Chains A and B, each alone.
Chain A
């Protein structure tokens, strides 16, 4: 796997999966 591929894999997965987790966390502040 190329360095370019590894770099963007880490970047994209961090943004997308991290974003998903972050918004789930924010949403939880509204209580259940």
Chain B
């Protein structure tokens, strides 16, 4: 890949692509709901701290690893840690691809609701619950929209890095921002909306003393920014050498929360201003991501002046957020295949085809989708841990001195980076343990069951199968996905350790 190295054409092109990778549905339908449930302003303060402790150091680490080898995740890990660690890159890549399979289905939902808003389907009195049920229990429709989502993303990826990803994210990212600002301005100018704004920002110090606030904030930082997923590692392959690692990682982290706050200003004031009763508002916020968005917000939009336009803006913003994140997941697969020697367009066709076929079970069954979201969503935390492990193995101080504070870098990163990297295993243990504990409380009698949607058993078994295969196939993974790896140059019989 190095001989024909492709770069983003501009600094803003890389920023748009990287930020659009981070900004997904989680910013729009998860942040407002989780913030409301965990103390509003107190949660956001905890989230800013989680950003510094977890997300930004991992984003920097990903950029460093991606730029070091300029290969797909498997090749990058192989070069950075040594070929015997290729399985780590395979795990990271697989987790993202497993998410891509069902994320395309979710993207299809957002496109469907944008289409419905254009058709004027959201009218006062319409039963949005029935609308949602009718859609999600009709596989021909969910599969059709899954196909549409994958086709749009494929069409962009197929055109390449600069003519595809860069060109379209430079349009879609600012458009998403404008659409959300329009929705937020409409929301906060509704009578009674400021109660929702107050709910979003008011700080009750008691929440800062609750472990749940912090655990929820660290989880949001991990899932929303994309830190430790391998996606920034993939886009970093195409970053120009002079693109600053530290500054760009902070841009992604702070940009992600900035957009989440605008989404919060669009969602919470709408709910508080238009909910017919406080109980309705609480039900909406407790209805989960899809319930809040596709049932309650869809029900409230038509009750506001200009609601049909705002609904279209909101669902289009959601669709843009989903599509641009889907792009990065497909690109992760493509980059691994290109490193293996595949022609880029062929790699794009096969990755998108695999994504469509393997996403069909999630389009068919919401339970299957929820299970995959649970298993690989928590699995992402393990990917984050692996990223920190890679940096520690390479040498945290060496990474900071030579690769983050690289030649020509404009933002100096101090030794706090080292501290945060060493804190990541501790933070991982806390968040991971919290999710496992929650899962056990959901199924106190059969938490080990493999067949429950959100059980510990289903997670551990699926992870174990994938990890066992990758560890067993490590040599093949290294040979196939990193044929020009550094270690191939080591004479036979010599010990192979470390990276470059």
Contact A29–B10 (Cβ < 8 Å): no
Interface: B194 (CB within 8 A) = yes
Taking A16-B261, A20-B255, A26-B411 as contacts, is the C-beta distance between A32 and B11 under 8 angstroms? yes
Interface: B41 (CB within 8 A) = yes
A6: which B residues are within 8 A, CB to CB? Answer: 201
Name B residues whose Cβ lies closer than 8 Å to a Cβ of A: 10-12, 15, 41, 44-45, 48, 194-195, 197-203, 242-244, 247-248, 250-251, 254-255, 257-258, 261, 408-411
A9: which B residues are within 8 A, CB to CB? Answer: 41, 197, 200-201
Contact B244–A8 (Cβ < 8 Å): no
Contacting residues of chain A (3-32) with chain B, CB-CB under 8 angstroms: 4-6, 8-9, 12-13, 15-17, 19-20, 23-24, 26-32
Partner of B41, one of A1, A8, A17, A28: A8
Contact A27–B248 (Cβ < 8 Å): yes
Taking A15-B48, A16-B48, A26-B244 as contacts, is the C-beta distance between A8 and B257 under 8 angstroms? no
A24: which B residues are within 8 A, CB to CB? Answer: 15, 251
* Interface CB pairs A-B, < 8 A, 17: A8-B45, A8-B201, A9-B201, A13-B261, A15-B48, A16-B258, A17-B258, A20-B255, A20-B258, A23-B250, A26-B250, A27-B11, A27-B15, A30-B243, A30-B409, A31-B11, A32-B10
A26 to B15, CA, bound (A): 13
A16: which B residues are within 8 A, CB to CB? Answer: 44, 48, 254, 257-258, 261
B202: which A residues are within 8 A, CB to CB? Answer: 2, 4-5, 8
Contact A32–B12 (Cβ < 8 Å): yes
A23 to B248, CA, bound (A): 7
CB distance from B355 to the nearest CB of A (A): 31
Contact B45–A30 (Cβ < 8 Å): no
Contact B203–A4 (Cβ < 8 Å): yes
CB distance from A11 to the nearest CB of B (A): 8
Contact B201–A5 (Cβ < 8 Å): yes
Interface residues of A, dominant DSSP: helix
B48: which A residues are within 8 A, CB to CB? Answer: 12, 15-16
Name A residues whose Cβ lies closer than 8 Å to a Cβ of B: 1-2, 4-6, 8-9, 12-13, 15-17, 19-20, 23-24, 26-32
Q: Knowing that A9-B41, A27-B411 are A-B contacts, what are 5 other residue pairs whose CB atoms are under 8 Å apart, sorted by A's residue number? A: A2-B202, A5-B198, A5-B199, A27-B248, A30-B244
CB distance from B180 to the nearest CB of A (A): 13
CB distance from B9 to the nearest CB of A (A): 9
Contact B41–A12 (Cβ < 8 Å): yes
CB distance from A15 to the nearest CB of B (A): 6
Taking A15-B48, A19-B254 as contacts, is the C-beta distance between A26 and B247 under 8 angstroms? yes
- Closest 8 CB pairs between A and B? A5-B198, A9-B201, A27-B247, A20-B254, A8-B41, A5-B202, A23-B250, A29-B410
Partner of B198, one of A1, A12, A13, A17: A1
A6 to B328, CA, bound (A): 37
A17 to B201, CA, bound (A): 14
Taking A5-B198, A9-B201, A16-B48 as contacts, is the C-beta distance between A30 and B247 under 8 angstroms? yes
A15: which B residues are within 8 A, CB to CB? Answer: 48
Contact B261–A12 (Cβ < 8 Å): yes
A4 to B261, CA, bound (A): 17
Contact B251–A23 (Cβ < 8 Å): yes
A12: which B residues are within 8 A, CB to CB? Answer: 41, 44-45, 48, 201, 261
Partner of B242, one of A17, A23, A31: A31
A23: which B residues are within 8 A, CB to CB? Answer: 247, 250-251, 254, 411
A26 to B254, CA, bound (A): 13
CB distance from A17 to the nearest CB of B (A): 5
A30: which B residues are within 8 A, CB to CB? Answer: 11, 242-244, 247, 408-410
B244: which A residues are within 8 A, CB to CB? Answer: 26-27, 30
- Residue among A9, A13, A31 facing the most chain B CB atoms (10 A cut-off): A9
Taking A1-B198, A5-B197, A19-B250 as contacts, is the C-beta distance between A27 and B45 under 8 angstroms? no
Residue of A whose beta carbon sits closest to that of B10? A32
B201: which A residues are within 8 A, CB to CB? Answer: 5-6, 8-9, 12
A32: which B residues are within 8 A, CB to CB? Answer: 10-12
A5 to B200, CA, bound (A): 8
B15: which A residues are within 8 A, CB to CB? Answer: 24, 27
B11: which A residues are within 8 A, CB to CB? Answer: 27-28, 30-32
Residue of B whose beta carbon sits closest to that of A12? B44
- Residue among B48, B200, B203 facing the most chain A CB atoms (10 A cut-off): B203
Residue of A whose beta carbon sits closest to that of B194? A1
A16 to B45, CA, bound (A): 10
Contact B203–A8 (Cβ < 8 Å): yes
A17: which B residues are within 8 A, CB to CB? Answer: 258, 261
